[in-house]
Structure 1
């Protein structure tokens, strides 16, 4: 089943347009294919009708009888702790971060840019150190290999190179 969020009684939604933009509401009744009756007792949204294209459905759903009163919706809302669940969701955290970024001043944006630059420089140095160590160990590409040069001692500068080739036999 490809869809997980259905337009149904008790579905929690976020208003995406209009005077109540960004507020949580509950669907109380489906009027027709394009409109629903909503109620937001804890988010100060009065009971009214709204178009479905003005709503974003969430994964949360509360249980209450068909076309329940605002009092019943409020009780179901509080019993299922919708506000706490919403605050913990990734969606709500993204909305809060977006609002916080919108409140930044020029100086705050400048400080943020400088902090990111410093963080990236520290991260780059650490990455290159790890890469250098992995190259020395021979584990850079995921396979344990012999390190370059093996266990042979390196010759000192200025020393003559000696070869240990056996002489060719004469015929």
Structure 2
């Protein structure tokens, strides 16, 4: 199996943990082997340095120049329609389903399932 998700300028990444967990960002510049300069103009993430450990790379790549300003990143983001493409992926649907189960955790408890068995 060939690895196809390389760290590159324009790659869209999912932030898995930290203060911006659950949001998408675009890699604007690679600082060093551990960090990248990221920007999420349409996901309310300000431009900042973020470690690669926090990010999971997606299949989406935006076309904008190296170290582009936020205006150009936003234009590329909206032109590629990343938010709707992300919402249509299986990855996003799994995350949404997991969050739905966690918010309804009190309804999916063992006691509720026990009551269901008792009724049958």
TM-score normalised per structure 2: 0.88
Which residue in the other structure is 1:80 paired with? 80
* Runs of 4+ residues over 3 Å off in structure 1: none
Which residue in the other structure is 1:23 paired with? 23
Secondary structure of 1:94 counterpart: helix
What is the Cα deviation at residue 18 of structure 1?
1.3
Structure 2: how far apart are the matches of 1:34 and 1:99?
29
Secondary structure of 1:33 counterpart: coil
**Is residue 12 from structure 1 mapped to residue 12 from structure 2 by the alignment?**
yes
What is the Cα deviation at residue 54 of structure 1?
1.0
Which residue in the other structure is 1:91 paired with? 91
Secondary structure of 2:46 counterpart: strand
Structure 2: how far apart are the matches of 1:105 and 1:93?
18
Which residue in the other structure is 1:55 paired with? 55
The structure with the largest alpha-carbon Rg is 1
> Which string of whole-angstrom CA distances, capped at 9 and with x for unpartnered residues, describes residues 24-73 of structure 1?
00000011111100000000000000111111000111111111000000
Structure 2 residue runs of 5 or longer lacking an equivalent are: none
Do the aligned partners of residues 114 and 89 (structure 1) sit closer, same or farther apart at CA in structure 2, a change above 3 Å counting? Answer: farther
The structure whose RCO (Cα within 8 Å, separation 6+) is larger is 2
How many positions carry a matched residue from both structures?
Answer: 114
TM-score normalised per structure 1: 0.63
Query: When you count strand as a share of all residues, which structure comes out higher?
Result: 2
